[in-house]
Amino acid sequence: MIQVVPAIDLIEGRCVRLSQGDYARRTTYDAVPADMARRFADAGFCRIHVVDLDGAKASEPQNLRTLEAMARIDGVEVEWGGGLKSETALRDVFNAGATYAVVGSLAAREPQTFAGWLQRWGGERLVLGADVREGKVSVAGWLEDLDLSIEQLTDQLLPFGLSQVICTDISRDGMLQGPNAPLYTALQSRYPKVDFCVSGGIGSLDDIVQLDALGLRRVIVGKALYEGRIDLRELVKLFS
């Protein structure tokens, strides 16, 4: 069964969602992040994907107190990303209670540095965050597309213990129009030892059901939960 990972995006300690990564197209929700994490965990979804959007802009973590509050909740495993571009930042988020750390831009720009981190902390804790647009990896808040495919990046990191990848299809993110299933099925088929997480476009419960039927292993759900397009109780019945 596919693992559902609820998402929480943070700006100034508040829950937000962006459309296609655009800070100007931001929706702020009246929800305390730790309360949201507790709600998801109580429903049976213990792995929570959290993006520190302030940290992504500042190139270092900015919401560590919020991370600490989430990590204190029984059963919660926080998957934290945003601004992890140094070993100091990585240690800070692990010390604040993160179970997993998601590294994106640095891994794409400096794969050998990330390979060293994989060897030190292990693929069970470090997650590659690969944002793609038209087949190429994008960095710097999706402002720059590299001449590098996700397959090329994965191939570079596999020998060092890479086992988890969150792949976000930028064109689908926050749009609620359905995920790019062919992208993920192709990746999962090519790399059976790596767990690829679907990210971007989930707009309905049917989207998740279809991904599950395709044999995909993990999916991040964010905006659709906040806006009531997916009922948490129905999600629990099928996937908790």
Which residues are catalytic, by number? 9, 131
Rounded-to-integer distance, Cα 164 and Cα 127, Å:
5
Rounded-to-integer distance, Cα 68 and Cα 224, Å:
26
Task: Look at strands 126-133 and 136-139 and give their pairing.
Answer: antiparallel
Question: Would you put residue 74 in left (φ > 0), alpha (ψ -120 to 50) or beta?
Answer: beta
Q: Could you report how far apart the first and last alpha carbons of the chain are, in Å?
A: 9
Strand partners, 18: 26
* Ranges of H-type helices in 29-161: 33-42, 53-58, 64-71, 87-95, 105-109, 111-121, 150-157
The candidate with the shortest Cα–Cα distance to 76, out of 99, 51, 103, is 99
Rounded-to-integer distance, Cα 92 and Cα 10, Å:
17
Report which residue type is found at 108.
A
Q: How does DSSP classify residue 206? A: H
Q: Maximum Cα–Cα distance for the chain, whole Å?
A: 44
Rounded-to-integer distance, Cα 240 and Cα 234, Å:
10
